[in-house]
Structure 1
Amino acid sequence: MLQDKRILLILTGGIAAYKGLDLIRRLRERGAAVTPVLTRAAEQFVTPLSVAALAGEKVYRDLFDLTDEAEMGHIQLSRSADLILVAPATADIIAKMAQGRADDLASTLLLATDTPVMIAPAMNVRMWDHPATQRNLTRIAGDGVAVVGPNDGDMACGEFGPGRMSEPLEIVAAVEGHFGPRPLTGKHVIVTSGPTHEPIDPVRYIANRSSGAQGTALARALVALGADVTFVTGPADVAPPADVKIVAVETAHEMKDAVDAALPADAAIFAAAVADWRVASASDQKLKKSKDGLPVLTFAENPDILAGVSQLATGRPGLVVGFAAETHDVVAHATAKRARKGCDWIVANDVSPETGIMGGPENAVILITDQGSDPWPRMSKADVATRLAQRIANALG
């Protein structure tokens, strides 16, 4: 997909610059040539030597380099690339782009180019949420700059929220999508994500520990491959992805109705952790402690959304994928679930507490199909999403 494409990669000064090293490797694996540019601040996090070794090309650092500037090197650099990629893109470089400033090599390249530009923002959550940053992003988006991410997650400063740079494979998928053709263009995919909350009374509910991170990452990966995604999400911890149709729900019944309304679809991916049961008659008032003892809760079974879509007589998506979070006998339980539900694939994982997977940043899945089980190594949820999205694209053909 990226064979013979030239990427001008600008690394700016944030802790996420270390991901730039892996990003270079991933781009080169796919045939791209990477010309790196480091800001002075970026050199506080990665060395020119390590960047040059991975890129296999000279690192450019100075605007006023006598050798390069004898031939107006900053103009040549900005025009010879097929794409300029800024990763990480700090709040500072985004502000410079919005204001049209050119006080160093990186900002001068960005101002002097007519080449497409893509950025992967990375910054503290407060900086990301600040009105000035959001104004700047709106400005550069209006100028045609493509934006990848950021993700929600833990940050080096100890805070949590949006501002974490997208993972290298997510960025690579966006770069591949830029050059197209994207294999899922014209395909409609439904993705469910997050937990459901089943009310007990107005202040209490039944739920599980799902963060929604895997479903969100999968939706992003599908969009990067060109899919039109309807994203049906329960009350997740992570922010929903961009460029999808978001349908926010609370309960399993609401999720079922939203999925039914989103049909028809070419594929339906059920990554949500739907509560199996609900309180049959939720109280409309807060339940109080009583000297008469504990309240008695009567449970009812929730609708089986995965089975319902898998077993549609008409209008069934061409590919239906379920998820199975298990704590023991993972393959056996997931294989039985696939047969019972009637879906095409099951993505199974071990969520026992010692794995740290439920609500964590990584996943280790086993893909169950009619061909058997395919265990994948433990990797980030973004990497799982990228790999699964490509398998989905291959299956839909």
Structure 2
Amino acid sequence: MPSLHFLAPDFAMADALADLLARRRIGVTRGAAELGKGAAAFVAAVADLSHERAVIEAARAQGVRMVVLVKEGAERLDLTSDLGGRLLRIALPAASGRATSDAGLLMLADILAAPLRPMVACDPVTGGLLDLAARVARTDVTVFINGPTGSGKEVLARAVHAESRRADKPFIAINCAAIPENMLEAILFGHEKGAFTGAATANRGLIRAADGGTLMLDEISEMPLGLQSKLLRVIQERQVTPLGTATEVPVDIRIIATSNRDMPAEVRAGRFREDLYYRLNVFPLTTRPLAARAEDIPALAISLLRRHWPQGPLPMFSAQTLDLLAAQRWPGNVRELENVVQRALVLCDGQQITPDDIVIDSASGPVGAAALSGLRFAEAV
């Protein structure tokens, strides 16, 4: 488990911040600088320039390459970086309530956690899913991730790859639903020059491109039946036969498949091979819809805000806004939440995101305080 070291014992928000990091499966040590040797970063609350220098020198002495300096009780959140991003200064407003819905603390937790564990987790069940992903990552078994569209299947697949012995090798993802059937075989298995009309050059294919690493077959339930039998042989033999040749080429890959469908129902309907399903479903992981993990919603909103805000001081979600977001059903899951956050960034005043800046789609069109005014949403789009 990656860890951070809290250097200052008088860090007022240390307990709440450590709890948020633990939910993301990032450990925290505390105390003297010597106890933090090998940590990913030193985190310290500082009062003046001399204190900053002392923290930086302590980090250098212990070989810690990243330092995060926190100024507590600021009027608004502010973030600056130096030394190529290895020194972060964060001005943090006083905590407003529960850590899991405090915008400032969630922002700081995401800043600290994202480089170590990109997958956002605040809900306990999501944390348990990260634990399972870390355990299966230590092996090479095939993983099948099932869950609704937009619920984080690819993010989870990347987390498995990042925790595995293959982390420094390629992670190749292909969406089986996005490629025409007559092209999918050549893209996956590769082909020799002249194997078919238009094949002016040879191509290794994505299976061989992933050699040594991980191949993610996204929405595998959309793969044509004819290709399913060929994929089954690749999984069984760990060999691939490019189009236009009879030569089998050995490959060393880990396969992660995903689907948003009820796979046993697909098998019963004859749309998916039963033998292939059981070859893929060695270790199943399931992502849940966003509505089933309300504690993840504020943390995800903060992470998406950081992703889409271009530069400069970040606007803050008000507590009421985070409560509003957490109360929604989100049928489009994280993708829908991302759309709403981007709209809010257009509508907000640049300092705070209020409930008036939230516009949520419904069957009858956009709804929300901003949309009901009949003005701001129209201006934004």
User: TM-score under structure 1 normalisation?
Assistant: 0.36
User: TM-score under structure 2 normalisation?
Assistant: 0.37
Higher strand proportion: 1
Higher helix proportion: 2
